[in-house]
């Protein structure tokens, strides 16, 4: 792959990124836009600031308020992308949540919420975009898992179950849609130094304990993951599918 292809290899491609008002999702939008993609953001929160940042850097983007666990919103998201930009090439399904709790204290309502936000949203968003990708004969679906599935991190039984589900989904769907030029890959992310507006992120308190366990002793930053997203989204990555790439500074030597 030539360097230019990595830098601007997504010109005229259309990418949907879910859960992109803040955190990793925002970094994915900006990195894909930098590589030339037109961006459609779906979040329950307002993402106008991300659209503005992309536009002021010379890119194209739109955002919609959508709850990806709602079938109608997922359908509207796909329609927004095709209405605005005429096609859908890339889906980065980034929506997810964790909720630390000792197993015996996890309520059934918490369990279902974690499944809904991590897995129902994945099912609905992918079902909504797949027809447009099949029609194009091209697609890149990138899903977000977590290194907690390799590490067996305590107090996250519900989250780890959901994120292992993301990997199973990724492998199975990859086998189904490869014939249409569509790849499906997961990224298992380590604890990332995402900046939450209220600084309530787990990263600030837990990172000092995690860094010594990593092979590379610096925090995983959103742009580290965004580079892997951009790589997997490229046309030149078309032979890579059904895989899970672990991006966590080598905490899990998976
Ligand atoms: N940050 C980490 O340390 C870390 C570690 C491992 C894996 N991950 C995974 O990476 C992804 C992003 O993590 P993050 O920390 O950047 O998340 P975040 O909590 O900072 O942001 C999530 C975004 O998703 C949106 N969202 C939540 N539910 C939604 C719904 N139903 N529909 C639409 N939007 C919704 C929120 O409004 C928010 O903007 C998640 O899948 C997460 O599980 C994160």
Task: Band the pLDDT of 4: cuts 50, 70, 90.
Answer: low
d(CA 1, ligand 1 centre) in Å = 31
Task: Band the pLDDT of 209: cuts 50, 70, 90.
Answer: confident
Residue 254 lies in a domain: no
Encode pLDDT of 139-197 as tens digits: 999 999 999 999 999 999 999 999 999 999 999 999 999 999 999 999 999 999 875 54
Supply the CATH number for residue 29's domain. 3.40.50.720
d(CA 103, ligand 1 centre) in Å = 22
Residue span of the structural domain in which 53 resides: 3-247
Residue 253 lies in a domain: no
The count of domains in the chain is 1
Nearest CA owner, ligand 1 atom 18: 23
**Whether the model pTM is above 0.85:** yes
Residue 118 lies in a domain: yes
For the Cβ of 19 lying below 6 angstroms from any atom of ligand 1, the answer is yes
Residue 170 lies in a domain: yes
Q: Active-site residue 159, yes or no?
A: yes
For the Cβ of 68 lying below 6 angstroms from any atom of ligand 1, the answer is yes
CA distance linking residue 254 with residue 240, whole number of Å? 17
Encode pLDDT of 125-136 as tens digits: 999 999 999 999
Please list, in sequence order, all residues whose beta carbon lies within 8 angstroms of the beta carbon of residue 246, skipping any fewer than 6 positions away: 147, 150, 187, 188, 190, 252, 254
**pLDDT for the residue 193:** 81
For the Cβ of 224 lying below 6 angstroms from any atom of ligand 1, the answer is no
User: 39-45 — which CB contacts under 8 Å span 24+ positions?
Assistant: 39/15, 40/14, 40/15, 40/16, 40/64, 40/77, 40/80, 40/81, 40/84, 40/85, 41/16, 41/17, 42/16, 42/17, 42/18, 42/66, 42/68, 42/73, 42/77, 42/125, 43/18, 43/19, 43/95, 45/21
Residue 252 lies in a domain: no
Encode pLDDT of 55-113 as tens digits: 999 999 999 999 999 999 999 999 999 999 999 999 999 999 988 999 999 999 999 99
Residue 213 lies in a domain: yes
For the Cβ of 94 lying below 6 angstroms from any atom of ligand 1, the answer is yes
């Amino acid at each position: 792959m030539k360097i230019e292809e990595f830098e601007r290899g997504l010109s005229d491609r259309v990418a949907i990124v879910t859960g992109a008002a803040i955190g990793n999702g925002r970094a994915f939008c900006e990195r894909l836009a930098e590589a030339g993609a037109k961006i459609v953001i779906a979040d329950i929160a307002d993402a106008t600031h991300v659209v503005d940042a992309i536009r002021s850097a010379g890119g194209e983007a739109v955002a919609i308020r959508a709850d990806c666990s709602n079938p109608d919103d997922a359908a509207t998201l796909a329609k927004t992308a095709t209405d605005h930009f005429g096609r859908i090439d890339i889906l980065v399904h980034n929506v997810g949540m964790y909720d630390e709790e000792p197993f015996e204290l996890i309520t059934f309502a918490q369990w279902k919420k974690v499944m809904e936000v991590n897995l129902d949203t994945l099912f609905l968003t992918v079902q909504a975009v797949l027809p447009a990708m099949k029609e194009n004969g091209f697609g890149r679906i990138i899903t977000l898992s977590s290194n907690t599935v390799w590490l067996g991190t305590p107090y996250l039984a519900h989250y780890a179950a959901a994120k292992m589900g993301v990997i199973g989904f990724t492998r199975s769907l990859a086998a189904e849609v490869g014939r249409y030029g569509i790849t499906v890959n997961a990224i298992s992310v380590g604890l990332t130094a995402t900046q939450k507006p209220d600084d309530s992120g787990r990263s600030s308190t837990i990172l000092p304990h995690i860094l010594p366990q990593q092979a590379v002793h610096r925090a995983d930053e959103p742009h580290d993951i965004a580079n892997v997203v951009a790589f997997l989204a490229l046309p030149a990555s078309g032979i890579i599918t059904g895989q899970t790439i672990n991006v966590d500074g080598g905490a899990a030597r998976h």
